């Protein structure tokens, strides 16, 4: 099940099919592609890493490849485990941002934890929005290069409530992963906060979490 939360509280609660008919949610879209933030997606260093095999003649390269394949086969095939619910792969140590925090303080918090986005909560710890570092850097939100220092200070002193995405969908922990993936595709959001029945944030499921579950070892069967 999905919910939609905004500044006035929960605005919707229902199925994926019902959610896709909610205007403010389906209308959310990025105007710029989001670049990966954090440890993932870093460019590889130039040159071969330490211990990386150097170029070898053709016959020797084939022999090494076959030996590696044989070793893998001897280790056996790990069984696949069905994976279908959000609570099986969501991040539980989620960082939340108070809606009264300034843009500068929120940016520093996200940067210090190495995350690109975080749910925004009100004084009652209820979900009200989603803040993304990528959106804070959108050209249409930044002052022009020739703007005075006063303009920049005013931007950094703004409340995150003025810049966050709201209303924002929240997802129950027992929701099917494929339905979450559908919402991420529909809205362009980088992930969804996982909430309990009271709207309290208990986790976060991102596109990276879903991709990581597909390729992890032991392999997980996304389709059960």
Asked whether 92 and 202 are in contact (CB, 8 A), the reply is yes
| CA atoms of 137 and 131, how far apart (whole Å) | 12
Point out the least confidently predicted range of 27-31, 45-49, 64-68, 158-162: 27-31
pLDDT at 62: 56
- Answer yes or no: is pLDDT of 120 > 60: yes
Residue 29: C-alpha distances to residues 1, 32, 135, 203, 205 (Å): 22, 9, 11, 23, 18
pLDDT at 122: 94
Burial call 92-124: b when 16+ CB within 10 Å, e when fewer: eebbbbbbebebeebbebbeeeebbbbbbbbee
CATH number for the domain whose boundaries are 2-30+80-221: 3.10.580.10
Confidence of residue 89 (pLDDT cuts 50, 70, 90): confident
pLDDT at 125: 92
pLDDT at 172: 95
pLDDT at 54: 44
Point out the least confidently predicted range of 59-68, 102-111, 119-128, 190-199: 59-68
| Domain range list for the chain | 2-30+80-221
91-106 residue pLDDT tens: 888 999 999 999 899 9
What three-state secondary structure class fits 92? coil
pLDDT at 68: 55
Token pair in block for residue 202 = 């208990």
pTM of the model: 0.66
Work out the mean pLDDT of the chain and round it to a whole number: 75
What three-state secondary structure class fits 61? helix
- Answer yes or no: is pLDDT of 65 > 60: no
| CA atoms of 203 and 214, how far apart (whole Å) | 19
The H-or-E segment that residue 66 falls in is helix 58-74
Asked whether 170 and 130 are in contact (CB, 8 A), the reply is no
- Answer yes or no: is pLDDT of 23 > 70: no
Farthest-apart Cα atoms in the chain, separation: 69
Which tops the pLDDT comparison, 143 or 153? 153
Half-sphere exposure of 7 (CA within 13 A, CB side): 9
Confidence of residue 222 (pLDDT cuts 50, 70, 90): low
Share of the chain above pLDDT 90, in %: 20
Which tops the pLDDT comparison, 104 or 53? 104
Asked whether 222 and 88 are in contact (CB, 8 A), the reply is no
- Answer yes or no: is pLDDT of 24 > 60: no
Asked whether 106 and 97 are in contact (CB, 8 A), the reply is yes
pLDDT at 97: 94
Tokens 């969501």 sit on residue:
90
pLDDT at 221: 64
What three-state secondary structure class fits 112? helix
pLDDT at 15: 85
């Amino acid at each position: 099940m999905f919910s939609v939360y905004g500044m006035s509280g929960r605005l919707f609660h229902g199925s994926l099919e019902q959610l896709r008919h909610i205007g403010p949610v389906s209308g959310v879209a990025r105007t710029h592609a989001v670049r990966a933030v954090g440890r993932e997606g870093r460019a590889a260093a130039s040159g071969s890493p330490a211990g990386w095999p150097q170029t070898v003649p053709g016959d020797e390269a084939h022999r090494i490849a076959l030996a590696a394949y044989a070793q893998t086969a001897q280790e056996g095939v790990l069984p696949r485990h069905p994976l279908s619910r959000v609570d099986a792969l969501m991040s539980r140590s989620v960082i939340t941002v108070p809606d009264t925090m300034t843009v500068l303080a929120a940016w520093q918090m996200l940067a210090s934890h190495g995350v690109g986005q975080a749910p925004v909560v009100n004084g009652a710890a209820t979900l009200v929005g989603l803040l993304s570092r990528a959106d804070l850097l959108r050209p249409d939100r930044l002052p022009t290069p020739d703007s005075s220092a006063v303009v920049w200070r005013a931007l950094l002193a703004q409340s995150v409530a003025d810049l966050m995405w709201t209303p924002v969908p929240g997802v129950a922990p027992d929701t099917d992963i494929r339905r979450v993936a559908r919402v991420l595709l529909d809205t362009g959001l980088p992930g969804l906060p996982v909430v309990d029945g009271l709207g309290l944030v208990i986790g976060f499921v991102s596109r990276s979490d879903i991709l990581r579950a597909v390729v992890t070892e032991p392999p997980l069967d996304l389709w059960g």
